[in-house]
Chain A
């Protein structure tokens, strides 16, 4: 049970997170939505203690994690794994080493500096890469992988920590629709099969609806919606994103691939009124030919 009690975070004058109260039971899959700057990332970072709250407490199974220091704090970091939008792997180290880095907190500093990973840990890393479908790139430098593959490596590293909670900060925001689906499926699988609580920030409403049993909406640092996907009506969503009626439809920002995709008009067509670019392109093509 993760309990957030009146947590506030200020950056100078600006209030990023404003007196947030939440209860997240174990094993829940939670999506946090809201506009950029609504405080979603700040909230996740405070849960993991990458940053400290200005006010309020965060409790996990009764332990006040906002008061942790030193090795106790690092143990909490381990129990509360984090997935980042930019993956945050070590680009020059190979994929397998990157995954094994998830074990750092399970061993002494000396053992990890000497590279003393046990056979079990190596097998565990390979199995995790296999489960996420990136085992074929295990010996490549992580920086040479595609975004979707890197994010799966990041999930494998998080799983090596044997966490109780997985936080994901916009895990699919820099991925294409197919990779986004693979990554979200992996997170859902972790949640279902391993029973790990997953809290994820999302940009796209339909992803939150599809994967999360509970959706939390934030606006200007406050929680303004907390309920099931069914309760998140279009009117609620408009309120959440602070838009008026016109010009807002979920499909515009959707990254999902639906069956009727073929019948939709192709989005990229030269606009009728703007012929200059097309003419220029045609002239260039003729000149080259």
Chain B
């Protein structure tokens, strides 16, 4: 009974950590540019599929991962430069459709270059499971949680301790004021997209040994990340992490105790309920609308 619960909890936290990283990616881009990047999931796909492809060329796994992450960062920066920057005055809906177009484009290219097959990425450290309180914990889950925690801490340090991090924060608070004190905001936006791609691709490759990877895994992961980010409150880093873990755990519990067919429905009902009562998510700040 308890071991069952623990099992679902492990599963939920593992997948939730992935959602949290996707949500953080959304948050960074949202803070820097107020764009919701629906191509966020494609970074995870590039992380996983890129690693598979580079390993296929005979490159050792560690370097293959680094190359895949670099590739994702390049795609992220290109996305900002070539698609988002030229459309800076567009409506919210128009920007949504541009990023959706970008995600279809990236998926289409991946499908041509890497094919339509599902691939398995080998676990980072063997596939010996760990037994804990009657439940089985995948060793890869520890990698997901560990790398997730390291990334979150690194992000916190980056945004509070480094000049570049503070420049990004400053730009998100007031772009004009940031420009006035000498922040190159175009640079900051590129950096935000690159950083977001880095988070996404690392999440994509660490979770790939558990979930498999293919050219079309991005869209659903992006939506889940968006749910997590909105639940936590768009723009809030803490909200993204809490929202992600919460979403993962609720999904796993629903799949375990109620019905696996309706696990997504429960996730989407939950976000509706949260938004009904807290229209800015759990940790979203209050803003005053100007006329």
Pair from one complex: no
Q: Which A positions have Cβ atoms within 8 angstroms of B?
A: none
